[in-house]
Amino acid sequence: MVSKMGIANPLALLAVTAALPFGSRADDPKVEYHGAGWLQMGRVEKSFTTEKHEINNYTHTWMRNAGAVFEANVSIDEHWDGRLGLGAVNVHLSRGKTTNANIWYPFWVPFVPEAQITHTNTFSENSKLSFTFGSFGVDYNPDAKNLGLYLMRGYVYPGSLVSGFTGPLGVLAATTGAMGSYRFGKFQYDQILVSETEDKPLYDFSLAEILTVRPAPGLEFGFGANHYRFIAQDKRLTSPGKDCRADMEMGENGIGCFEVVNTLDADGNILSSDTITGSLAGTKLMARFHVDPKAMFGLGESLGGGELVLYGEAAVLGVKNVGNYYKDIMRRIPVMMGFNFPTWRILDNLSLEVEYYASRNSSDNLGAQFGSWIPNVDPDVNNARDDWKWSLNIDKIVAGHVKFSAQVANDHLRVGGYHNYATGVETTTTPEDWYWTTKAVYFF
């Protein structure tokens, strides 16, 4: 299995890394500082599913956060450069639980948006090789405003999707690990070794490979594979076997270690039982496109750079069928398309993104956070009602340093639980559900 997943590739990266020019030296690095401060505020207007849960009803829940971030871009010499940052954000536990409002409290949470070091060898104007270590954002689909980016976000089994705003400086949620990038002409190849630091079990290694092709001006294609959790920190956690005991190894929030499929006779009696084991590990595939008619046909010089761009992304979340929950690959393929409407530079962005994902499994990822590759089952929820998602996004930059953003969406927002009650349920799970949020950012 390992050989199929390209174990030779990280070894190749290591070999090239060992050949880095250790002898070079720069005494006075050039440092460029950036910063941002923001206030984000919005409200869940309708959350049909959570309305049925007495303990966590998110309808008409306000959401708010404020923060600041400070970053430095460091150029050490012609080969080495780094980026590092510090920030703090004021967040609240979700207000869905109204009967215990006394334990609804705010936090100032420090965070590190980036902590990376990159070594680059430039061979020619269109050819360079770089290696990055640390904590960095992987933005293989810069068009995506909210939906998409399936390759690097979320679990495979269960295939729960993730969405959300990017950071105030355009930085995505950081990936920790190492990345090798090779750009040659119209091609770019990225190989990313990811150490899992967000979704549990922690510290599993995933290996993602992304090929980007720019065959003509205004036209771009991307293809990728993510061998998700191909090296497990603890194999038993990532791939629980038949002897797994959910109560001891997962706790009360685990859904189960394996699936039991019973064969019944006509009267409903069990004839035989089959135990199906699975894993949180799996392989994701991704393809995307970007079409800019302005660049292709020389249109619309009065339009902004991103306007009229049509883009899309599709993925397979797990190429292997497993048990009853993952028996149909077509229900593991999310597809999104987006379009940037023309605004004639009045706005910096006015985009609409739409997504279709025919999964019949619950989007609640709490079970996976406790090791279950089996999806959560809630008989009160119709999982066919959340197939369509959409997001309308607007951005406007004023005076070069002030950015106003707004989003109206039915997406994969998870506002979390309260105090000592955890939940991974999505807030908008029916076509009637939606929320809005706004953000004002000052940046330099």
Partner 1 sequence: MGKFFGCIHSKGPDFMRSGIPIALLASAIAHAASAKDGGAPFKIHGQSWLDAGKVMASHDTLTNDGTGDFIDQEGVWLQTMGVQFTAVADLSGNMEGAFGFGAHKATHSLGRFQGNTKVKYLAVSLFQNFITQARLTYFQGEKAAPWLSGTIGSFNYTYNRDSKNLGSYLLRGPVYPGLLMGGFQDFSADSGKANVMGFQLHHGAGSFSQDLILKNEKDLPPTFDWSLACVAKYKMSDAVEIGGGVNFYRLIPYNPKLETPGKLSVDGGRSYEIADTVTHDTVFFSHQGIKVMGMFSVELNKFLGMGGLGPDDLKLYGEAAILGTRNYGTVYGKIGERMPVMLGFNLPAWGLVDFLSVEGEYYKSPYRNDLANIGTLNNVADWTLQNPARPTPSPAPVGGAYPDSTRDNLKWSVNVEKTVAGHVKFLGQVANDHYRPRPVATGLTSSTGGTAETFTTPQDWYFMFRVGYFF
Residues near partner 1 (CB under 8 A) are 20, 22, 24-27, 29, 31, 33, 70, 72, 74, 76-77, 79-80, 82, 84-86, 88, 109-112, 115-117, 133-135, 176, 195, 197-198, 200-203, 233-234, 236-237, 248-251, 253-254, 369-371, 419-422
Give the shortest CB-226-to-partner 1 separation in angstroms: 20
Measured CA to CA in angstroms, residue 1 lies from 4, 5, 176, 235, 320 at distances of: 5, 7, 24, 14, 13
Closest CA to 441 of 48, 34, 30: 34
Which distant-in-sequence residues (6+ apart) come within 8 Å of 176 by Cβ? 134, 135, 194, 195, 197
Query: Cα 71 to the chain's mean position, in Å?
Result: 22
CB nearer partner 1, residue 338 or residue 417: 417
Give the shortest CB-254-to-partner 1 separation in angstroms: 7
CB nearer partner 1, residue 80 or residue 104: 80
Give the shortest CB-132-to-partner 1 separation in angstroms: 11
CB nearer partner 1, residue 118 or residue 141: 118
Give the shortest CB-426-to-partner 1 separation in angstroms: 20
CB nearer partner 1, residue 125 or residue 247: 247
Q: With contact defined as beta carbons under 8 Å apart, do 381 and 429 qualify?
A: yes
Residue positions counted in the chain: 444
Q: With contact defined as beta carbons under 8 Å apart, do 180 and 131 qualify?
A: yes
Give the shortest CB-119-to-partner 1 separation in angstroms: 8
Interatomic CA distance for residues 259 and 426, integer angstroms? 24
CB nearer partner 1, residue 27 or residue 267: 27
CB nearer partner 1, residue 2 or residue 264: 2
Q: With contact defined as beta carbons under 8 Å apart, do 285 and 319 qualify?
A: yes
CB nearer partner 1, residue 157 or residue 390: 157
Kindly report the backbone phi and psi dihedral angles of residue 243, in degrees, each rounded to the nearest multiple of 5, phi listed first: -90, 5
Interatomic CA distance for residues 82 and 84, integer angstroms? 7
Interatomic CA distance for residues 238 and 430, integer angstroms? 31
Give the shortest CB-383-to-partner 1 separation in angstroms: 24
Give the shortest CB-104-to-partner 1 separation in angstroms: 14
